[in-house]
Amino acid sequence: MGTMVTIAAAGDVHASEATRARLEQSFAALEERVDLVLLAGDLTTLGEPEQAQVLADSCRGLRVPVCAVLGNHDLHCNRGEEVAAVLRDAGVHMLDRSATTFELAGGEVGIVGTKGFVGGFTGSSLPDFGEPLLRRVYAETSAEADAIRRGLQEIAHCGIRIVLLHYAPTSDTLHGEPEGIWTYLGSERLATPIAEYRPDVVLHGHAHGGSFEGAIGTTPVYNVAVHVTGRDFYVFELEGHDVEVETRT
């Protein structure tokens, strides 16, 4: 692709009635600036459909596509399907172990989206051993990693390829969080298909006290949680395999 695609990304917006005005203003301000909006989970405060409606109202009618994955907050009330349905009704493309493509700026952009899960990193990773409940946790992360692999195979033909997660696939973007909780902030097993298929960029949230930038091999990884970026959206410009990042200051 020889044309620039501009992407606005945010994670952990934690929508509720208390944040309605800010969300409406921040989404409206994107209308003429970007080609695509990506939301990296924790779309709501406690996973209540009424909170999802606040975000849906901000997204409805935007001329640019919006893609999102759920986060742990969105599943807190065990109403994740309802949360996703409210957002789909507003035109948001909800990704759950799935991929989608868009024709943007004269080329095809592919997005693989899934929540990700826990499991830890070298030195403190959960093994596939022991109590059945812990092995179910391991199996859940395996299913998430397999979904990333399948999605990247599906969008292999796209000029720009993006992976959108909630949980972190690398410890690079967890620095600043207590190491004792890294096991619950992501899993290095999510990185295996990323290292193999080398998408152009990976975006995630969840680690509120983490770091902004990391990498898996040659693939840049960004923690776009609003608590880390300090702004409503972070803007990325992608052209082919080059990623330009909005100035941090």
CA 113 to chain centre: 7
> How far apart (Å, rounded) are the C-alpha atoms in residues 249 and 247?
6
CA 203 to chain centre: 5
Which pair of tokens denotes residue 169?
């696939």
Return the pLDDT at 239: 84
Residues 191-221 have pLDDT tens digits of 999 999 999 999 999 999 999 999 999 999 9
Residues 161-179 have pLDDT tens digits of 999 999 999 999 999 999 9
Given the DSSP bridges, would you call strands 5-10 and 36-40 parallel, antiparallel or unpaired? parallel
pTM listed for this prediction: 0.96
CA 172 to chain centre: 16
What is the biggest distance separating any 2 CA atoms in the chain, rounded to whole angstroms? 53
**In the structure, what pLDDT confidence band is assigned to residue 246 with cuts at 50, 70 and 90?**
low
Residue with tokens 């990323």: 194
Residues 5-52 have pLDDT tens digits of 999 999 999 999 999 999 999 999 998 889 999 999 999 999 999 999
Number of H-type helices and E-type strands within the chain: 6, 12
Q: Is 198 exposed, middle or buried (0-12, 13-18, 19+ CB in 10 A)?
A: middle
CA 174 to chain centre: 15
Strands (DSSP E) contained in the chain are: 5-10, 36-40, 66-69, 93-94, 98-104, 107-113, 160-164, 201-204, 213-216, 219-223, 234-239, 242-245
Q: Name the β-bridge partners of 107.
A: 104
DSSP character at residue 78 = S
Q: For 233-243, what is the mean pLDDT?
A: 84
Q: Which residues contact 77 (CB under 8 A, 6 or more apart)?
A: 46, 47, 48
